[in-house]
C-alpha cells in the first residue's frame, strides 16, 4: 500500500492512542509487522512553544519507521509550523486529529469538534499540506452529534485541500467508545473520495479486519484499543493466524517492552508507565482481577520482573 510517496509493507496500522503509543510500544507493534505506526496525539501549540514534554512525544527511534506524527489543534498556521518541526524530526507523515472525543480537547474546539466546521477543516489541511513535503492524512469520526453524519463532507474537504488519506472511525463523538462502530459510514466515505480510506473501530481479529475491508471497500485497517497489551495482534491479522501467544511468550513480550521503556525513558518513568501496560497485558489471564492491585503498586524493575515471571511462567 502507498500513501502519497510513502510505500508501506502492508495495510494494517497502529492507531494513535494517548498515553499508549509511545516509542516503546510503537516499536513492539512494528516488530510484529504493523505497516504504519502513529504517535500519541501531540499539541501543535505545545510544539511551537518548545515544550520539552511535547517534543519528547515526537521522538522517533530508527526501528519504528515509517512513523506518522499525529497533531491536534485548531489554528492553521500553528499546526503548519508544528508539522514542519516534526517533518525535520523524521516523521514519515503528519496526521491531523479530527477524531478525539475527549471533553478537554473538544472544549477547546479541537479534535472531533473540528468536524463541525468544514471551512476550518479545509484551511487546516491546506496549511499543513502546503508546509511539508511528506504526506498529510486526517483521522476523523462518523460525526459529532449522534445522528448527524459529517464524515463524507469532512473527507471531501480534506481531499480537496491536499490530504493524501483519511481514517474513519465509525462512532459519533457523543458515543465515545460505546456501542458498535458503524461500517456504513466508512463505505460512504470510500465511495466519495479517491484517496485511500482506512477503516477504524472494533477491529480485533483477522476475521473482523477482513470483514471490515469487504463490507466497506476500505484500503486498510487501523487497530487501536484492541492492541493494548497485545502487540502480537498485528502478526495474527497480517498472517491470518489466530494462534495466541503462550504465557511464556507473553512474558517475553512484557520484558522486551519494559527494556525499551527503560532504555528510552529511564527506570523511574519506565516503572510508572509500565504499571498501566501490565494491567492490559494480563487481560484474559486467569485470576487477573486479583492481580491488578499487586501490579498497580510495583515500584522497581525487579518487582515488575518478579511479578511477570510469577504470573506468566509459574
Active site residue 100: yes
Q: Contact, 142 vs 151, CB < 8 A? A: yes
Q: Contact, 305 vs 258, CB < 8 A? A: yes
312 confidence band (pLDDT: 50, 70, 90): confident
The topology (CATH level 3) of 2-239 is TIM Barrel (3.20.20)
At 287 the pLDDT is 74
**CA 282 to chain CA mean position, Å:** 21
Residue 310 reports pLDDT greater than 90: no
User: Of 67, 100, 218, 261, which residue is the catalytic one?
Assistant: 100
Pick one of 3.30.1330.60, 3.40.50.2300, 1.10.287.110, 1.10.1200.80 as the CATH number of 247-313. 1.10.1200.80
Residue 71 reports pLDDT greater than 80: yes
Q: What is the mean pLDDT of the chain?
A: 95
Residue 136, φ and ψ in degrees, nearest 5: -115, 130
At 195 the pLDDT is 99
Name the residue ranges covered by the structural domains of the chain: 2-239, 247-313
pLDDT 10s digits, 183-242 = 999 999 999 999 999 999 999 999 999 999 999 999 999 999 999 999 999 999 999 999
Q: Contact, 10 vs 1, CB < 8 A? A: yes
pLDDT 10s digits, 129-172 = 999 999 999 999 999 999 999 999 999 999 999 999 999 999 99
Residue 97, φ and ψ in degrees, nearest 5: -80, 110
Rounded to two decimals, the pTM is 0.95
Residue 6: which H helix or E strand, with range? Answer: strand 6-7
Amino acid at each position: 500500500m502507498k500513501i502519497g510517496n510513502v510505500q508501506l509493507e502492508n495495510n494494517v496500522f497502529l492507531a494513535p492512542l494517548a498515553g499508549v503509543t509511545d516509542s516503546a510500544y510503537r516499536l513492539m507493534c512494528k516488530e510484529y509487522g504493523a505497516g504504519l505506526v502513529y504517535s500519541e496525539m501531540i499539541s501543535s501549540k505545545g510544539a511551537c512553544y518548545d515544550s520539552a514534554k511535547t517534543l519528547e512525544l515526537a521522538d522517533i527511534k530508527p526501528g519504528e519507521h515509517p512513523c506518522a506524527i499525529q497533531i491536534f489543534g485548531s489554528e492553521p498556521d500553528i499546526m503548519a509550523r508544528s508539522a514542519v518541526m516534526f517533518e525535520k524530526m523524521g516523521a514519515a507523515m503528519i496526521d491531523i486529529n479530527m477524531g478525539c472525543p475527549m471533553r478537554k480537547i473538544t472544549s477547546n474546539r479541537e479534535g472531533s469538534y473540528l468536524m463541525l466546521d468544514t471551512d476550518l477543516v479545509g484551511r487546516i489541511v491546506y496549511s499543513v499540506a502546503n508546509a511539508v513535503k511528506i504526506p498529510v492524512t486526517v483521522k476523523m469520526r462518523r460525526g459529532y452529534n449522534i445522528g448527524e453524519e459529517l464524515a463524507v463532507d469532512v473527507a471531501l474537504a480534506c481531499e480537496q485541500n491536499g490530504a493524501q488519506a483519511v481514517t474513519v472511525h465509525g462512532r459519533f463523538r457523543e458515543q465515545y467508545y460505546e456501542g458498535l462502530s458503524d461500517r456504513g459510514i466508512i463505505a460512504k466515505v470510500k465511495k466519495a473520495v479517491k484517496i485511500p480510506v482506512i477503516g477504524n473501530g472494533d477491529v480485533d481479529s483477522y476475521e473482523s479486519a477482513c470483514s471490515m475491508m469487504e463490507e466497506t471497500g476500505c484500503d486498510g485497517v487501523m487497530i487501536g484499543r484492541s492492541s493494548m497489551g497485545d502487540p502480537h495482534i498485528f502478526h495474527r491479522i497480517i498472517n491470518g493466524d489466530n494462534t495466541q501467544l503462550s504465557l511464556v511468550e507473553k512474558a517475553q513480550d512484557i520484558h522486551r517492552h519494559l527494556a525499551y521503556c527503560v532504555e528510552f525513558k529511564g527506570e523511574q518513568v519506565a516503572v510508572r508507565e509500565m504499571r498501566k501496560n501490565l494491567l492490559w497485558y494480563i487481560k484474559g489471564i486467569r485470576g487477573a482481577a486479583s492481580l491488578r492491585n499487586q501490579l498497580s503498586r510495583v515500584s522497581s524493575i525487579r518487582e515488575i520482573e518478579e511479578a511477570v515471571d510469577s504470573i506468566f511462567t509459574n
